[in-house]
Amino acid sequence: MNMFSRRSLFTLAVEVLTFCVSLGAQVERAMIAGTARDPSGAVVPNVSITVKNVNTGVEFKTTTNEAGEYVAPNLIPGEYSVTASAQGFSTLVRSGIVLHVTDRLAVDLSLQVGAVTQQVVVTAAPPLLKSETSSVVTLISRRDVADLPLNGRTVFQLAPLSAGVNNAKPGTNANNVDIPDNARERQGLSVNGQRENANTYILDGVYNNQINQGLIAILPPLEAIQEFTLETSNFNPEIGRGGGVMNVTLKSGTNQFHGSAFDYLRNSALDARNFFDRSPTRRLPNFVRNQFGGTIGGPIRKDKTFFFFDYQGLRERKGETFVTSVPGPNIRNGNFQGTDRPIFDPNTTCGFGTNPACALDANGNPIITRQPFPNMMIDPSRFNSAALKVLNFYPQTNDPSGAILAEGQALFFSSASRQHNETSWDIRIDHRISNRDSLAGHYSSGDSHTVLPGAFSALPQFAPAVGGALGSGGAGFLNGLVDNPARSLGIQEIHNFSPRMINEFRAAYVRAGSDSVQLGFGNKYADLVGIPNVNVTDNNSGFPAISIGGLGLVGESPFFPLIEIENVFQLLDNVTFIRGAHTMKFGFDGKKIQRNFTQILGFPAGVFGFGTGFTNDPENPGTTGNTFADFLLGIPDNGSIIRNSGVEGLRTTEISAYWQDTWKATQKLTVNFGIRYDLFTPQVEAHDRETNFDLGTGKLLLPPGTGGSDSCYRHRSLVCTDYNNFAPRIGLAYRLGDKSAIRASYGVFYIGESQEGFQLTLNPPFVGGVSYLNTSAPLQITRTLDQGLPTSSPFLPIDDPAATLNVWPAKRPIGYTQQWSFGVERQLSPSVLLNVTYVGNASTHIRDQHNPNQPFLGANSSAQSRRPYFPVDPNVFDLTYVDQRGRANYHALQATLTKMFSHGVSFLTDFTWGHSIDVGSYQEGSKRQDERNLDAGRGTSSNDTRNRFVFSGIYELPFGRGKPFLTNASGPVNQTAGGWELAATTIIQSGFPFTVTGGAGWPNRTCTGNNPPGGRTVDHWFDPNCFPLPALVPDPVRGGLYTPFGNAGSDILTGPGIANLDFSLFKSFNIREKSRIEFRSEFFNILNHTQFLQPSAGVPSGAAGHIFSTRDSRQIQMVLKLIF
């Protein structure tokens, strides 16, 4: 049998066995294990063990083995009791055991001689020491989730409280522009130096990733979260990716009804002024944010069936102020008198039409001349018909001063409201079928809707009967309608075949994405104003972008529409088998992924650009001509549009299998080991609408990739399958007495490709465009505005010099990360735990994106002729090459001090001293100047944080009934003095690095530049004089001089750090035995400490070293909650 046949059969076998998804089933669950001993210390076999959930009454029963050991797996988080009974011994009850997500608690049982009818009750929490696991885990308790001050109130804000975690810097995305106001897009986390797409998100034990960039799908309200854990290193084989594992568990119903109602309010009246807004009289932009909702849970049938439901709404309004240049009243009528640039009539150009030929200079070249418009006025009969209709959409100036600018423009002042609404809800059902079977499930829904307005959006004329609105703004400004829907459905069934064998089955469906469109989507504005061949599809609907130099843009924003709906279908099955000292688990899992995607990477309804070339004097072009005059005549410099073939359907499958064993080798030593296998099938497009450019042949490959220089293509994919993804894991945990433990671990983690792949759908012939140019010297008018765009084929041919092709190498290894750690843990008191851990990792074959067709540096030649692939195809322009050349490594010492809540105090504090190095910090784009020299970009990671200190804590003031002071206070005194709490979070960290740019990429570096003369200030953060541009050097091949690459390097300087304190003060009023009202005030950046962002880093420039923006100033939020 040949290799292809063996691989095909292997793939088929795995697909038959798959029960779909790459996450372990037990990750929502926890475990209690221990040993029963008699008074002499001897083990006691055959002890009957009952583990009971105190809140629901659900029980798990087992017996100790011949070594006196027992295990109770797959327990949901909550409070438990453990009852042990055996002939000749008194019945022992251990109560007060609180179990958290992923816990493996050691609850040992000391039996006393006596009758079974005698009962010994021990009420004491088990030790905090986790002596049977090698993973690095941070627990954020239910109380912390509810009470810590969090601006925005998302679960993401809890993750940076863990050691080794920070908010990932926004990365560049060459093929996709992130649309603002997607809460999921805003939340990126770097865990131990890893990229954000390496993280795994779990909701109630099922997959919760949004495939695009590996972000989160469902963000449940904090009031709905039972607890939150973040595993940051060396987890068990049921987890695939190597970043962090964020595990969120929804609250469950209990035998008692419980719930809450809440309202959070922020507005600009409570906010401090920005550091750069120095005017004491200028009002802050209007801002109102209201977050509200409620929860309720309880029994449907006591001890049997329970429910929990939550709802949250968010309504946010933020004022936007615009100052836009519009045509002044005179030039709107063709009167350019008083402007500073004379205008000339293009119809009088020599040699144009029947005009006399141009005179020749001494070298025989024509001297192009044209005549000025009489009296600096254009007769309205010359106005282009389409330009006149577009002009009606430009508002008149409303500047009260009546000022007219140098070229006839005037100012238009406007305001609009950016509206952002979110609605989410979750429901969870838990049902006990029998003593052997339990069933649970959840359904979660989240929707956000945002209106991003433009400068003219609020004006009535931009919402005529055809609907829609127009936007205006400068470069990089986006306006449109942004919708972000998300759904999650998960069910699980756990069957106990015996106390030693448990099966767990789960099925899930996750749907998430973006449905974002231009404001005029679906409306044919171009047809309305008489510009043909533009609004040919819904993707190309809306108002064409009219770009007139010196005036505000009228038309749709670029990069809309962005429609990206992702569906993930998940099934899995796990078996836990307990035999002696071994707890083994094995399972098959995988997922079917559908990603339906379309985006116009440009102006959706095309763009028409107007300069001064057709109304200037060709002999004095720099001081003559007017852009608005060119517009009135309807002669653009250029026109273009990008079109695509509609929504592409990307399809792929991830299949995984794993086995692991937790072996309690001795009473002190626990060994965790196992292996995982991952198979990631290359993507295919549902209708084969993708192509790959073969660098070896210079050909575009269509599915199934026949004719390429590699022979590994299979089926309809354009890249080859990597079958080598074996991931071993091993961990050791050794208990040093009752209060100390040491841990060590090593593991391999594959990142996968499910978040990638749309680039190949952006290649010709399925994406392209049409364009034209008009030239003014000599005068050659290809098309006027009323003639619109050409009607020729909308797609660029492969030999078009403007074609930027996307390339994937046929053979691409899957990226992986090796992780290792060694740590010591010490329980300092019954409630205080200290952990010190060294964590390291090395990532190999991670995604890198570069342009291998970057022109070589040189002189006296065109850039095109200096491209490496010019001999293969002289017309190919840039190549976006996506391969797996990336590398990274990270080393850190992490210390965590945790105090569980007792005596009115809890806190979590950690310190990270680490360093991350890579050759490209983001999955798309790189930081190199020389695209072919990978190691030239090696250096400090862009998300590197050398030192980071985090503190979070809660303190109950010791006053009122049941407290140390005023214990017997009367009702009025207790209501006044009692029930006060404080909470705070503090983050102090060093700054992110940044790169100084200039010249051909980097400048030279002649001194450090870190400490400018006079010290670092907001106006002089680094010394630009240390970074001169490289001197011109001769081209030995072609002659002449050119600018070489500089030697400065990437991310060599460090920006401002962070020092932030968030604080909350709240008061609870008891209204009955189990109900209370809570009022709180939350202060974000309470000290109003200015925290600067990165400086301008381009040289030479007068702005180099200057800082122009900061993080948020102080903000205040008021909260009212009812808890019952």
Using CA atoms, how far apart are residues 272 and 121, in angstroms rounded to an integer?
56
Measure the CA–CA gap between 573 and 582, rounded to whole angstroms: 20
pLDDT of amino acid 168: 64
Position 176 scores a pLDDT of: 32
Tokens 């819904």 label which residue?
A: 538
| Tally of CA atoms within 13 A in the half-sphere of 870 that contains its CB | 11
User: What residues contact residue 439 under an 8 Å CB cut-off, 6+ apart?
Assistant: 429, 430, 431, 432, 433, 491, 492, 493, 494
Contact 157, 137 (CB under 8 A): no
The Cα–Cα gap between 896 and 825 comes to 9
Q: Is residue 385 part of a domain?
A: yes
For residue 1003, what pLDDT band results from cuts at 50, 70 and 90? very high
Which pLDDT band holds residue 875 (cuts at 50, 70, 90)? confident
Pairing of strands 726-736, 805-807: unpaired
Burial class, 866, CB count within 10 angstroms (exposed 0-12 / middle 13-18 / buried 19+): middle
Q: Please check whether residue 350 lies inside any domain of the structure.
A: yes
Question: pLDDT averaged over the chain?
Answer: 85
pLDDT given at position 715: 64
Peptide bond into 704 cis (omega under 30): yes
pLDDT tens-digit readout, 700-746? 788 865 555 555 655 678 888 889 999 999 999 999 988 999 999 99
- Of the pLDDT bands very low, low, confident and very high (cuts 50, 70, 90), residue 646 is confident
- Does the pLDDT of residue 15 top 60, yes or no? no
Q: From the CA atom positions of the chain, what is the Rg in Å?
A: 33
- DSSP-assigned letter for residue 156: G
Which residue shows structure tokens 């011994």? 89
Percent residues over pLDDT 90 in the chain: 42
Cα–Cα distances (Å) from 236 to 184, 223, 909, in that order, read 27, 29, 26
The length of the chain, given as a count of residues? 1124
Model confidence at 460: pLDDT above 80: no
pLDDT at 26 over 50: no
Query: In this structure, is residue 347 part of a structural domain?
Result: yes
**Secondary element (H or E) of residue 577:** strand 562-579
Q: Is residue 353 part of a domain?
A: yes
The rounded distance, in Å, linking the Cα atoms of 814 and 541 is 39
208-217, 419-428, 938-947 — most confident range = 419-428
Give pLDDT, residue 119.
66
Look at 123-132, 723-732, 1081-1090 and tell me which has the smallest mean pLDDT: 123-132
Decide if 91 is inside a domain.
no
Highest mean pLDDT among 412-421, 763-772, 798-807: 412-421
Q: Does position 177 have pLDDT exceeding 60, yes or no? A: no
Calculate mean pLDDT across residues 1013-1029: 91
pLDDT of 314 reads 95
Q: What is this structure's pTM?
A: 0.85
Tell me what pLDDT residue 905 has: 94
pLDDT at 481: 85
The total domain count for the chain is 1
Phi, psi of 801 (to 5 degrees): -60, -20
- Amino acid 785: pLDDT: 97
**DSSP H/E element including 368:** none
**Most confidently modeled range among 198-207, 328-337, 991-1000:** 328-337
pLDDT band at residue 178, thresholds of 50, 70 and 90? very low
**Predicted confidence band at 466 (pLDDT cuts at 50, 70, 90)?**
very low
Q: Where are the alpha helices (DSSP H) in 461-613?
A: 525-528
Average pLDDT over every residue of 957-975: 85
Q: What is the spatial order of strands in the sheet that 206-207 belongs to?
A: 136-140, 225-233, 245-250, 200-203, 206-207
Average of per-residue pLDDT across 594-605: 86
Query: Does 19 have pLDDT greater than 60?
Result: no
Is 356 within a domain?
Answer: yes
Per-residue pLDDT, averaged over 869-884, amounts to: 82
Q: Which of 93-97, 208-212, 1053-1057 has the lowest mean pLDDT?
A: 208-212
Percent of the chain whose predicted confidence (pLDDT) is above 70: 89
DSSP SS3 for 881? strand
- Does residue 399 sit within a domain? yes
81 closest CA partner among 100, 103, 107, 104: 107
Given pLDDT bands bounded at 50, 70 and 90, which one contains residue 51?
A: very high
DSSP per-residue codes, 293-346: EEEEEEEEETTTEEEEEEEEEEEEEEEEEEEEEEE-HHHHTTB-TT-SS--B-G
Q: What is the pLDDT of residues 2-14, one digit of tens each?
A: 433 333 333 333 3
Q: Is the pLDDT of residue 631 over 70?
A: yes
The single-letter code of the amino acid at 677 is Y
* Domain assignment of residue 767, yes or no: no
CB atoms under 10 Å from CB of 341, counted, come to 21
| pLDDT attached to residue 472 | 45
Confidence of residue 462 (pLDDT cuts 50, 70, 90): low
* First-residue to last-residue Cα distance in the chain: 68
Q: How much is the pLDDT for 625?
A: 95
Tell me which residue has tokens 């084969």: 688
**Contact yes or no for 855/878 (Cβ under 8 A):** no
The 3-state DSSP class for residue 518 equals: coil
3-class SS string, 259-278? EEEEEEEEEHHHCCCCCCCC
What is the average per-residue pLDDT within 331-358?
Answer: 93
Structure-model confidence comparison of residues 791 and 955, the more confident one:
955
Q: What is the pLDDT of residue 719?
A: 83
Asked which of 18-27, 83-92, 623-632, 659-668 is least confident by mean pLDDT, the reply is 18-27
User: Average of pLDDT values for 306-327?
Assistant: 91
> Domain range holding 404?
326-413+607-640
Q: Which pLDDT score is estimated for 28?
A: 59
